[in-house]
Structure formats: C-alpha cells, structure tokens
Amino acid sequence: MPQVISYTPAWLGKGTPGYDLFTGASRKPAGTCTASLNGSSTSKKKNAKPGPRRTIARRGTEIFTAVGKEIRWADLAYLKEAWIHEEETKNGTSKGKGREGSPSQYDEDHAQGYRTLKVSLAEDIRQLIISPHTNYLAILTTHTVHIAILPDSSHLTAFDTSPLKPKTYTLGPETHVTSQAAIVSALWHPLGVNGSCLVTVTEAAVVRVWELSLDDRWSFDKPTLSIDLKKLADGTSFDQDFEASKPGMNTGFSPDSFEMEVASACFAGRESGGWSPMTLWIAMREGDVYALCPLLPEKWSPPPTLIPALSVSIVAKVAAIEDDQDVPQGTRILTQQQLAWMSDLDNQEPAEVASPLGDRHSDVYARPTKPGKVPKLQGPFDFELAPEESEDELDNLLTDIYVIGPKLDVDELMFGEENDLEIDDPGNGLSLGVVCLLTSSGRLSISLDLDGVEAQWLPKPGSKVLKFTDDSDPPSLLTFQVLDTTRNGEVWEGNWPMFSSDFTSRYSFFVTDTSSVTYISLTPWVFTLENELRDSGVGAEFRIDLMVKAHNSFRGRIYTEQSKDRLSPLASSVAMRDPDLGYFILTATPYHPVAVIFESPDTGEIEEIGHQSYSPTYDSEPLQPIINPRPVYQPAHALEEQSALPSLLEKLRHSRYKRLLKEDIRLSPATLHVMTDAHKVLSEETLRIGTAAAELFRRCERLQIELQSQIKEVHKVAGRVDEITGDDRDDQPAADVNERVEARISKASKRQKELTERIEKLRRQATKATGRELTDKERGWAEEIVEVQSAVLGEGDTVDGFGTTKQPWVRFDEVKQLKDELLDQVEDLAAEDARPASRGVKVPSEIRKAKMAQITALLNRETALVEGARNRLDRLRSS
C-alpha cells in the first residue's frame, strides 16, 4: 500500500483558487422544500436515481471538474507555484519574484491558471470522460451526451480570465434525449482511430458506436453501429435486425427490461493480449455479466502486436483441432469463423494515419464483414465458487465493473522469428483476465477468466450450427476472492461505489463510494500465480490452493469523509503523478476538494531492494511515520449556507399573500399556509444547523481528549529527558545540565570507542583465520589430491574408470591374494618333499628355489611401489 504522508495540501485549502475550483460561486440554501405561495406547495428536491459521479477528469497536470452545469479548468502545478509565490511574498522570502519593478507571472493582473468553460446544458453534469489523446471531452448528464473540443493549455496562462465557450457537439440529438433510457457509461474505444471512437451504453441495454470526425458533422448525429442487447440475446442468425428501436416507438413489456438493466460497462487496456482490447464487458444491475466480442468501429487502429498475436493463436488452434476427432462441432465452427475473420484482415491493405500528437503513424483497418459486423452476446457468465447469495439486496446490485486483460505473450508471438518486433510495453503480470465487480454495499468480487473470451458470431440463416452451440457449456468466471470495502453504518441504498485506476501497477486500483476511498492491490498474488501456472510442477495444486485460501489481496482504507451528509457524495478518484505535484489522488464533494498525498513509489522500490539485500529471509516491517497524518477538520457546510427564509419572504412580497406582511397575525387559512411553508424551511435549516453544531461540539470534545493524550505523551518524553539529564535523582547534589549531558556523552563516546576497538580486533583475527580465497590452480590441485587418494587408497568418492587399466589399490589386493595362493602351493610342495620319493617326475631343487626367488622379488617390488605411493600421499597431505 502506498504510504500516506499528508492530506489536502494548503494550496487546495479554503480561500485559495484551488478550493474555489471545486465549490460553487455562492452558498445556496440546501432546503428540500420551498413554497410556491400560490395556494400550494411543491418540493424541489427530486429523489435522483443513484448513479456514477465522475466529475473530475485530468490531462497531465490539468484537471476538469464539473460543478453543477459548469466546468472548471485549471493547472494544478500552476496553482501550487502561485500559492508558494504568494506565501513567500507575504513572508518576505521571495527570491527575485514579485519585487518592485519586476512584475511576476503570478500577480493579480496576470494569468491565474484557471478558467471556466461554459457549456449549454439542461441538467447537471454527472460524468466527464476525456479521450485517449486528450483532445475531446465527453460531458454526460443523466440522458444526454455532449462532446467538447478541448482548448489549448496556453489559455490558462493568458491575461484574459473570462469564461471560455469551447466548441461543443451534441451526440445523438434525437437519440440521447430525456424521453429515452438514461446513459450509464460512455467509453472511448481502445482501438478507435486517434482515440475518436466513443461507445455509449444506456440503461436499457443499448450499445452504440460513434465514430467522431470534425470534418463530418453527421458523425455526431447517427452512430455507425447500434445494438440492442435484449434483441441480440434472443437472436438466432446474424441477418436479423438488432438495431435499437427508434425514439418514440412503443416497446412491449419484456422480462429482460428488468434483468438486463445495465449498471456499467468497460473495456480492457489497449495493450492487453488476446481479444481483450475489442471486448466490451457489461455488468447488469441485477448481477449478471455479459461480454460482446469483437465490438469494433468501421475504421479501427490496432497496436502493432494485436493482429500478429491473434493470427498465431487462430492458426495454432486450427492446426490443433484439424486431426482431433474428439473436438466438439461447435468449437470447429467457431474456429472456422475466426479464421474467416482473420483472412478478411489479411486481404486488406492498411492505411496509414498520422497521430495528432506527433507519434508514429498507425495502421487503420476496416472492420471485417465476415462472418458479420454484430458479434454474439456471450453470457450471462456463471460464477464458479461464488459465495452464497446474501439476504441483503444491496449485496447483489452491481454498480461498476473493472477488467484487467491478460498480458501479451511475447515469447509465443516471436517464436521462430529472427527479427524482434518493436513493442513499447510488452506487459507483465497474469496470463489470465481479471474481472472485478462492485456492488451497492461495497462488496468487491475478484474473478479469473480461465477460458478467455474469444470472438463469436451468430450463425448463418437456416444453419444447423445453433444446435451445436446450445449444447456447449455456458461461459464461466472463477471467483478468486471477495472483499468488503465499506463498514457497518456506511451502507445505504443510494451508495454507488466506483473503480479508479492507479499509476503504480495495472493490478492496483482505488474504490470510491459515497464517503470513503479504499486502495486495493492484487500484486501480492498475481505474479505468484503466474509463476505457478507457467512452471507447474509437483505440488502446484497444493500451493495454488494455499494461495487462494490465504487471501493475499491488499485492502486499505486511505480516506473517510467526516461529514455524514449522504447528499454530498465523493466523486470518483483520479490518480495523478507529477514531479512538481507528487503522487496523490484527487476527489471532491460538492463543498470541498479532497487530496491524499502518498510517498513516491520510486522511494518505496529502492527501500524494498535495500531490505532484500540483507538476507533472503529478511522480512522488514513497514516504516511507520513519525507523525500520523490525518485529514484537517472541515466544518459542516450547513454552517456556511445561506438561509432560504429571505427568498421565501421575497416570494411572499410578490404573491397574493403580501398583505399578510403588513397586517396583524390572524387565524386564517392563508396565515396557516404561510406559517406551514415557513416552518418547512426553518425546520430543515434548524435540523441541519443543529446537527452541524453537535458535530462541532463532538469535535471540540475530541480535541480536548487528544490534547490531554498529547500532554501525557509530552510528560513521558519529559521524564525520559530528566532520566537522561539526571534531574530525576534527588539524593545527588545539583549539577549543571550541560555538564551532566556532556559527561554522559563522553561516557557513551568512550564506550563506543571500546566497542569499535573490540570489533576491529575480532575482525583482524577472523581475517587471519579465514585467509584469502583459493585460486583456480589451488582448487584444481586439491581436487587432484582427492583423486589420487581415491585411486591409491580407495578412500573417498571413487571415479569409475572407462579404460582397461586397473586402479593401484585393486592391483595391490590381487597381488596379496596371489601371494597367499603361492604360499599355500609352496607349503604343499615342501610337504611333498618330506614324503618318500615316488615314481613321478622329479623337479630339481635348484629350479624350485629359482622360481621362489623370482616370486619373492615380484612381491617385494609391488610392496615397494604401494609403500612409495602411500608415503607420497602422506607428504602431499602434510604440505
């Protein structure tokens, strides 16, 4: 987990431009009821349907934040430097900036670093989605989508600080209207040409693909591809009409209208492996998950490795099932469809299109027409090892989905190739896809896509393929782990948790709900699981089972909103990392910004490497900060809001009850009506003010308790200081504090010197005992001695010889055995000489003596050889 070092910095504090960037121009009353004063009362508070609130987008160090119908634009690095300059000017420590006669760029009559973007909208902004090349900004309300052309960053440093009105296009002015289903997700397609393809997903499960072009105004009016997922789920062939119904057409009731209510949708990263970059994952509110692959625009630009990787995978699959008779027929037909799709791509000649950012040219392909442009809807996925369904309804209502695609297998892609393919980011991590789901209760489910989602299409009209595909098993996801990101008392029906990506790793992310931000990291088990899957050996199943049961995913709460007001939820967090700003996440409520600043991840990596250098088994404890950081207390916004009572009186002066203000109070229906309306306003305001005052009182009490604890800690520290200085001893004569401290320092220095000398002495002795390391020649000589020892004496590890020459100790044993046999024969011959002579052949004694002398000489020679070898070996040992 990244170490939190501080919270919202001073340059985003109250009274700074950074603070005003996230709040309204004036505090409007937050009353829920106002009187119409025409004989009836109405409620202006609408129970808005819960949904995602992504009102912060970033472009480098620049941020775009939505406040109501207005968009604020600022450069955070510029705001920070301006605040530092202002503080230095106040303290008189400015170094050459802002001095008399030398105006600074941060003066009031110069650029302020922030602007306001005016956009004509009918409702408040709910989401801001910036394009991959940061030149478009998708502005989403509940039912409408607007595409703004972002201005250049130079406008932030211009002298003119008036509001800007960027060029804005309404996306689908006849499609995305208030009379149709609400919009839940707007995604920039990872494979769009120069990041100009937008995919919108409505609550009624309608997916539309928009290929935007500034040269073609009609590209903002009509999508190039429109798919109704409810129709596609019941489709039987690709020639059917799956386009969404036109606005104004009556649609009958269908059970799918309830079960296929979309909560969120997402793509995996552009650099993911396999079919992931063109797979749209859809999470339904009721808990089902679907996949749409391949979902492509008419013109798309793949990364350099995508098409070669898919081609290698498809060809390998065709070769594997070609001669295998056990492969199901549905798999064979699916492989043939993928091969036809890839053949269509191979027959194309891609066009080169220059990137607007000045990057290298990208190849643009046309969407293959075979087997069809509308893919098959895969799902709903079956969750294996999923926990039992909870009785709480909020545990089963999905709010967001986050998919991490599998890594690109570079080794398989480049197998047999002589020239390496230039890959910007080969990727690392897991070779499986990871699907993360969030529910309204804050429950996080982490699942693995073991089979991998591949491209699928519906069959031809009248084909018999459908019977093969229906018999196949439904797609499934393996539930790896389930975590809770909310605490007791934080769960309510309007909660809508959201995912936010992180910089440090694609396997770490943030979860933001109404009142908290939680950090989640999957890195503790991702790389371990990948190693087990790649090099699976004996005991791999046992180790994987232990890893799954260990629950190694890291979860840490990094921020909790102090206010209990559920009508001021946190916006989706945005992670930022810049040398000038540091590494932090930024979020905001409608009343103030929130920033959590982390320690730089580079420092953490260096420290981790340094700890590992001590010992392979060294397990370092996490560093604890000297001062535990905590957010600064923000008073409740109810204390700063304007009262609604003056506006009520102003309306009363222009209503038919204006005469009541000049007359005495009389009991009448009109007076009762006015009093009722005033009571509604005052009761709500007094309730909010009373709650805020109670919270302030509790904070004051908590401050007293913490102050007392701090005083106790200071008292302990003072006692330790007295022990060091000797003031705690009353029986000794008083002495100067400096003298006592110097005496202790000198004693400690002397002790340190003695220890240093002892360590140096031990080091010298150890150096003499160990000596220097052996050279290669000395090690070879020692090995030769061991071989000679084993050859002569037969001790140690013997080496089997492959030649015909016997070892000396073997020959010596044979000679001893031969000596014993000859001595037995000599004794037999001597016994025969003692007996009377027989008629046999007699051997002269001279011959027998000569033979015996010859044998004795041979034995003495062998004995001398063995003794000589033994003596030489003893000398070698002693040397």
340-391: pLDDT as tens digits: 999 999 998 888 887 776 667 788 999 998 888 899 999 899 998 888 888 7
Residues 6+ apart with CB under 8 A from 705: none
Q: Are 196 and 172 within 8 A, CB to CB?
A: no
Mean pLDDT, to the nearest integer, of 669-689? 89
Smallest Cα–Cα separation from 67: which of 28, 112, 15, 111? 28
- Decide if pLDDT at 802 tops 50: no
Residue 117 pLDDT grade (very low, low, confident, very high; cuts 50, 70, 90):
very high
Q: Comparing 4 with 91, which gets the higher pLDDT?
A: 4
- Decide if pLDDT at 745 tops 50: yes
* Same domain assignment for residues 612 and 695: no
Backbone angles phi, psi at 249, to 5 degrees: -80, 135
Mean pLDDT, to the nearest integer, of 14-35? 66
- Decide if pLDDT at 859 tops 80: yes
Q: Are 309 and 409 within 8 A, CB to CB?
A: yes
Q: Are 457 and 344 within 8 A, CB to CB?
A: no
Q: In 563-676, at which residue ranges do the beta strands (DSSP E only) sit? A: 574-578, 582-588, 593-598
Measuring CA to CA, how many Å separate 577 from each of 64, 138, 502, 510, 601?
16, 23, 10, 15, 10
* Same domain assignment for residues 13 and 123: yes
Measuring CA to CA, how many Å separate 699 from each of 558, 592, 629, 635, 668?
21, 19, 17, 10, 45
Q: Is residue 312 part of a domain?
A: no
Smallest Cα–Cα separation from 575: which of 9, 8, 57? 57
Residue 653 pLDDT grade (very low, low, confident, very high; cuts 50, 70, 90):
confident
The pLDDT of residue 805:
53
Residue 404 pLDDT grade (very low, low, confident, very high; cuts 50, 70, 90):
very high
Measuring CA to CA, how many Å separate 809 from each of 81, 305, 402, 534, 790?
88, 67, 75, 51, 9
Residue 613 pLDDT grade (very low, low, confident, very high; cuts 50, 70, 90):
very low
Q: Comparing 323 with 706, which gets the higher pLDDT?
A: 706
* Same domain assignment for residues 76 and 122: yes
In whole angstroms, what is the distance from residue 87 CA to residue 611 CA?
Answer: 40
Mean pLDDT, to the nearest integer, of 686-702? 88
Q: Are 486 and 513 within 8 A, CB to CB?
A: yes
Residue 756 pLDDT grade (very low, low, confident, very high; cuts 50, 70, 90):
very high
Is the bond preceding 380 in cis, omega lying within 30 degrees of 0?
yes
In whole angstroms, what is the distance from residue 254 CA to residue 233 CA?
Answer: 12
Element (H, E) at 147: strand 145-149
Residue 263 pLDDT grade (very low, low, confident, very high; cuts 50, 70, 90):
very high
Residue 428 pLDDT grade (very low, low, confident, very high; cuts 50, 70, 90):
confident
* Same domain assignment for residues 690 and 792: no
Measuring CA to CA, how many Å separate 122 from each of 136, 140, 344?
20, 11, 45
* Same domain assignment for residues 806 and 859: yes
* Same domain assignment for residues 804 and 850: yes
* Same domain assignment for residues 7 and 109: yes
Mean pLDDT, to the nearest integer, of 132-146? 94
Highest mean pLDDT among 79-93, 186-200, 404-418: 186-200
- Decide if pLDDT at 423 tops 60: no
Q: Is residue 554 part of a domain?
A: no
* Same domain assignment for residues 140 and 12: yes
The pairing of beta strand 443-449 with beta strand 433-439: antiparallel
Q: In 354-472, at which residue ranges do the beta strands (DSSP E only) sit? A: 362-366, 377-378, 382-384, 398-404, 433-439, 443-449
Residue 34 pLDDT grade (very low, low, confident, very high; cuts 50, 70, 90):
very low
Please give the structure tokens belonging to residue 511.
């979860």
Q: Is residue 181 part of a domain?
A: no
Q: Which pLDDT tens digit goes with each residue over 293-351?
A: 999 999 999 998 899 889 988 988 888 888 777 788 888 888 999 999 999 999 988 88
In whole angstroms, what is the distance from residue 275 CA to residue 515 CA?
Answer: 36
- Decide if pLDDT at 458 tops 80: yes
The pLDDT of residue 794:
63
The pLDDT of residue 169:
94
The pLDDT of residue 605:
45
Smallest Cα–Cα separation from 26: which of 591, 614, 823? 591
Q: Comparing 595 with 105, which gets the higher pLDDT?
A: 595
Domain count, the chain: 3
In whole angstroms, what is the distance from residue 641 CA to residue 29 CA?
Answer: 6
* Same domain assignment for residues 3 and 97: yes
- Decide if pLDDT at 136 tops 80: yes
First to last CA, the chain: 60
- Decide if pLDDT at 394 tops 70: yes
Residue 453 pLDDT grade (very low, low, confident, very high; cuts 50, 70, 90):
very high
Tell me the three-class secondary structure of 661-690, residue by residue: HCCCCCCCHHHHHHHHHHHHHHHHHHHHHH
Q: What percent of the chain has pLDDT over 70?
A: 79
Q: Are 49 and 697 within 8 A, CB to CB?
A: no
Q: Which pLDDT tens digit goes with each residue over 835-852?
A: 655 455 566 778 888 888
* Same domain assignment for residues 701 and 849: no
Four-CA torsion 156, 601, 2, 21, nearest 10 degrees: 0
Report the SS3 class of residue 355: coil
Q: Is residue 874 part of a domain?
A: yes
Mean pLDDT, to the nearest integer, of 441-464? 87
Q: Is residue 700 part of a domain?
A: yes
Among 570-574, 585-589, 771-775, name the one with the lowest average pLDDT.
771-775
- Could you list the residue range(s) of the whole structural domain that residue 613 is in? 1-22+51-171+569-621
* Same domain assignment for residues 674 and 603: no
Q: Is residue 544 part of a domain?
A: no
What is the phi-psi region of residue 338: left when phi exceeds 0, alpha when psi lies from -120 to 50, beta otherwise?
alpha
The pLDDT of residue 31:
47
Among 389-403, 426-440, 628-642, name the one with the lowest average pLDDT.
628-642
Q: Are 808 and 791 within 8 A, CB to CB?
A: yes
- Of 671, 689, 718, the residue that ends a domain is 718
The pLDDT of residue 541:
66
The pLDDT of residue 725:
67
In whole angstroms, what is the distance from residue 509 CA to residue 498 CA?
Answer: 10
The pLDDT of residue 735:
58
Residue 612 pLDDT grade (very low, low, confident, very high; cuts 50, 70, 90):
very low
Q: Is residue 794 part of a domain?
A: yes
In whole angstroms, what is the distance from residue 597 CA to residue 776 CA?
Answer: 55
Q: Is residue 406 part of a domain?
A: no
* Same domain assignment for residues 15 and 96: yes
The pLDDT of residue 873:
83
The pLDDT of residue 551:
62
